[in-house]
Every structure is written in C-alpha cells, then in structure tokens.
Structure 1
C-alpha cells in the first residue's frame, strides 16, 4: 500500500484528526511543499488570534452567556443567555455585535475532543469587553434587570459548528490525497517525487483554499 492510500484510509477512519495531519506533514516534507506543511502545522498548533484563518474556521455566529452581579445580592449563580435583542436597536448593526462571532483558532486535537464529548467551544470575554458592556448598561445601551451588571461573560460556539470545522479539515485531506493519487500515485513514498509539479501544486492550492 502506498503512502497516499494510507492517508486516504486515515482520513476516512482514524479518529484523531491530529494523527491524520501528521501524515499530511510527512507527505509535505517528502514532496517539498512548504505551503502544505505550513497548513498542517497551523492546524496542529492552532492559529494566532490576530492572524487570518481559513474560511472553514469562521467567523461563525455564536451565543453569548453572562454571569450577573446583583446589587444587593452579589454574583448570581450560573450563566444566563444574553440575546442580541438586549442591545439598543441602534447598536445591533455596529462592530459591537462581533461579540456574537467567533473565529476558530484552536488546534484540531482540542476540537476533536469537543466533538467527542459533544461540548461547545467556549471563549471567555476579556476585562476590556466586560467593562465596555457595563458602561453600556450605565447609559441604557443594554437592557438588563435593574441593579444588575455583568461579572463575567463568554461566547459559545455550538458543537455542530465545531464538528463542521473538523469535517472540513478531514475532507480537505481526503480531497488532497485523492487528487494527488491521480497525478502522482507514488507521492509520499520514500522513492516518490521530491518536488511539487505545477499540476500537484494546483491540487494543493485548490484543496486547501
């Protein structure tokens, strides 16, 4: 069985997406594709918060949940949904609504684990975001119960959206291996091609784009 055949089987059957990507990284090194190796590395290690992500990693619409601080009464137990409709109408088309979006920058092994247990991807808000929201409450830009402010908040991306990201990665690996197999069946083998031909490069670009 050739390397590409093993990669195809892995993309279809191996539970660990990270293990599949390690196979892609080995393929990339053997055929001399820095572009493909960089993609596999980014998926394995995760993306920086300020760097572009592939389109299949978002941004996705998500939910916001908050923990209220009540006066009197202290911090309320549990988290409560914060609907977009709680914001003043003139704010609902503003950049502020990006708190309801999330870019999935996490490594694939973390995403695999979330899919396995059926959990959402949770992103806590920073102190600057919480301070801004509390200022909005003060000036009437956010409708909450009287005497309430926000002590903590987070965005939650539903598990089915997380699964779509993982499925997209695996589908790209499968498409890549099938596309290369038609052009260079021995790609990835120890005695296979050590340079990417223009046709192989086209497959890589189209698959990862």
Structure 2
C-alpha cells in the first residue's frame, strides 16, 4: 500500500483529525511543498486571531449568553440567552453585532474533542465588551430587566457547526490524496517525487482554496 492509499484510509477512518494532518505534514515534507506543510501546521496548532482564515473556519453566526448582576440580589446563577432583538433596532445592523459571530481559530484536536463531547465552542467576552454592553444598558440601547447589568458573557457556536469545520478539514485531506493519486501515484512514498510538479501544485492549490 502506498502512502496516498494510507492517507485516504486515514481520512475516512482514523478518528483523530490531528493524526490525519500529521500524515499530510509528512507528505508535504517528502514532496517539498512548504504551502501544504504550512496549512497542516496551522490546522494542528491553530490560527492567529488577526490572521486570514480559510472560508470553512468562518466567521459563523452564533448565540450569546450572559450572566446578570441584579441590584439588589447580586450575580444571578446560570447563563441566559441574549437575543439580538434585545438591542435597539438601530444597532442591529451595526458592527456591534459581531459579538454574534465566531471565527474558528482553534487547533483541530480541540475541535475534535468538542465534536466527541457534543459540546459547543465557547468564547468568553472580554472586559471591554462587557463594559460596552453595560453602557448600552445605561442609555437604553439594550433592553434588560430593570436593575440588571451584565456580569459575564460568552458566545457559543453550536456543536453541529463545529463538526462542519472538522468535516471540511477531513474532506480536504481526502480530496488532496485522491487528486494526487491521479497525477502522482507515488507521492509521499520514500522513493516518490521530492518536488512539486505543476499538476501536483494544481491539486494542492484546490485543496487549500
């Protein structure tokens, strides 16, 4: 069995997407593709917060949940949904609504863990965001119960959306291996090509698009 055959089987069967990507990284090194190796490394280690993301990593629409502080009464137990409709109508098309978006920059092994647990991807809000929201409450830009402010907040990307990101990675690996198998069947083998031909480069480019 050649290297590409093993990679195809791994993309279809191996539970750990990180292990599949380690196979891609080895393939990239053997064929001399810095572009492919960089993609595998980013998927394994995560993407920078301010960097460019592949389209399959979002941003995605998500839900916001908050924990209220009540006066009197202190911090309320548990988290409650914060719908966009709670914001004043003139704010609902503003940049503020980006709090309802999540860009999935996390390493793929973390995403795998969430998929196995059926759990959402959670992003806590920073202090600056919470202060802004509380100022909106003060001026009537956010409709909450009287005497309530926000003590903590987070965005949650549903588990099925997280699973779609993982599936997209695995589909790209499978497409890569199948495409290379057509144009360079021995790619990844120890005695296979050590440089990327134009046909191989086309397959890699389509994979990373």
Q: Fold conserved (TM > 0.5)?
A: yes
Residues 8-87 of structure 1 mapped to structure 2, 5 A cutoff: 8-87=8-87
Give the distance between the partners of 1:167 and 1:208, measured in 2 at CA: 14
TM-aligned CA deviation for residue 208 of structure 1: 1.4
**Counterpart in the other structure of 1:93:** 93
Tell me the equivalent position of 2:205: 205
**Pairwise CA distance, 1:164:** 0.1
Distance 1:80 1:178 in 2: 46
For residues 119 and 107 of structure 1, the distance between their equivalents in structure 2, rounded to whole angstroms, comes to 16
Instruction: For residue 48 of structure 1, report the CA deviation from its aligned partner.
Output: 1.0
* Matched residue SS, 1:41: helix
Q: CA deviation at 1:207?
A: 1.2
Task: Measure, in 2, the Cα distance between the counterparts of 1:23 and 1:125.
Answer: 36
Give distance in 1, aligned partners of 2:199 and 2:186: 15
Per the alignment, residue 126 of structure 2 pairs with 126
Q: TM-score, normalised by structure 1?
A: 1.00
Q: Report the 3-state secondary structure (helix = DSSP H, G, I; strand = E; otherwise coil) of the residue aligned with 1:142.
A: coil
Q: How does 1:183-202 map to 2 (within 5 A)?
A: 183-202=183-202
Structure 1 residue matching 2:68: 3-state secondary structure: strand
Q: Distance in 2 between matches of 1:49 and 1:149?
A: 28
Specify the SS of the correspondent of 2:69.
Answer: strand
2:153, 2:107 → 1: CA distance?
A: 23
Deviation beyond 6 Å, 4+ runs, structure 1: none
1:50-77 alpha-carbon deviations (Å, 9 max, x no partner): 1111000000000000000000000000
Report the Cα offset of residue 153 of structure 1.
0.1
State the SS of the aligned residue for 2:149.
strand
1:28-49 CA deviation, whole Å, 9 max, x = no partner? Answer: 0000000000000000000111
Give the whole-Å Cα distance in 1 for the aligned partners of 2:175 and 2:108.
Answer: 18
Q: Once superposed, what is the RMSD of the aligned Cα atoms?
A: 0.3
Query: How far apart are the structure 1 equivalents of 2:192 and 2:134?
Result: 61
Alignment partner, residue 117 of structure 1: 117
Unaligned 5+ segments in structure 1 are: none
1:123 match: secondary structure: strand
Give, in whole Å, the separation in 1 of the partners of 2:103 and 2:55: 9
Instruction: Report how many residues are paired.
Output: 209
* Structure 2 gaps, min length 5: none
Q: Does 1:108 align with 2:108?
A: yes
What is residue 139 of structure 2 aligned with on the other side? 139
